[in-house]
Chain A
Amino acid sequence: MGQGMALKVGVVLMLAVGLFLFLPTVLVLVVAMLPTGAALVVDRSASRSGWLCVGGLNFAALAPSLFELWFENNTLEFATGIISNVFTLMLIYGAAAVGWIIYMTMPQVIASVMDMTSSHRIERLKAHQQDLAEEWGPEVAREDTRE
């Protein structure tokens, strides 16, 4: 049996144990973190880091409700209340959507910054070449110039 298979079996066993021991938490997490799971499945980018971005904001929005569950009323009813509250779900899923949007737009923002920087440098280099050509003639650009 391979190592991967053992890991998978271990995770399933932990989830099974968790399901019995922390059922309200598992219920909230499973429902609230659905966008993160979806992101993990649909992300085909090279870095495969979309789930982290979505998951980060998704979990940040879930954190108040989850802590309320843990510290005030860790019951199945309270958990059901959380996942059935439309506003809470909108907040949690909205945060996940923002995460996805950020994940989608950040590369363009970075590309624009990089582009601005290199164009300016190329212009400076070309101006330097122009100065050299004016002083030394077009021969300065030829590789086979004699003397």
Chain B
Amino acid sequence: MYPITPGVSNLAEGVDKTFMILFAISLFFLIGITIVMLWFVYKYHKKRHPVPSKSKGNNTLEVIWIVFPTIIVLILFYYGWIGFKPMRDVPEGAREVKVIGYMWDWDFEYENGKRSKDLYLAKDEPVKLNMVSLDVIHSLYIPAFRVKEDVVPGQTNFMWFIPSQVGQYEVLCAEYCGLRHSFMDAKAYVMEPEEFQSWLADFDPEETEHKGLIIVRNNACTGCHSLDGSKLVGSTFKGLYNADRNVTEDGKQITVKADDEYLLESIYEPNRKLVEGYPANVMQSYRKIITDEDVMHIIDWLKSEEMR
């Protein structure tokens, strides 16, 4: 009868308890009122009850059904609030993880600088997610933990919880954010604390990334342009430099080389030379967002061995 399995975080109990109370009260009123209504329709049908009563109302009843529902909704409010309150009270010493949401992917950054595309968590250890967006509003939603908070550009929102069961759970984006909104998902892996520690330590902070890659990632380019040759909304970065591109310019089909000049133009005026097979107007100009110097870093990175 009950459609969901119990949640697996410390916050789930308050949420699920509120669900149970709401479910019981809703069912009681829905079924009760419906039965009374249908019973009246049957019992006071014209055939069985030809002469209607002259009653116009009853003040005692009005008072009862003003006061009684008011008490019930206040009780429901109370349970909703009690179940919610701990969601805003972060305990001291919670592990802080930075969440970066962008069109259309998540990055998670841990205290030692390690980054991951999925969220790694230690069982029974409180974690606080500090969430920022690089572009539009997203919303981090982990149904199994009963947590959700919008990820809003220009401000840092937070959520916290203690995962209580080892396993693999869905991380979804709940706030509509454009083309690939429904594909903006990740996994949350809950591990035993020791296992988590060794995962976290498996990281070499010396291994520096190319500046161009950092710029590309910070501007959320990788939401549409893959690094591994797969086709997303836009063309892949892999092997892009100096490749032949079949493009449409002013309605004419031409073939150009993806050289420095082409790449600069495609970042600043993406719809001028439109590569065959990709829609117009999805990408906007980055002229005001990425400086000339940073574009040079990106091109430099595209020339690098890892991207050829």
User: Is chain B a partner of chain A in the same complex?
Assistant: no
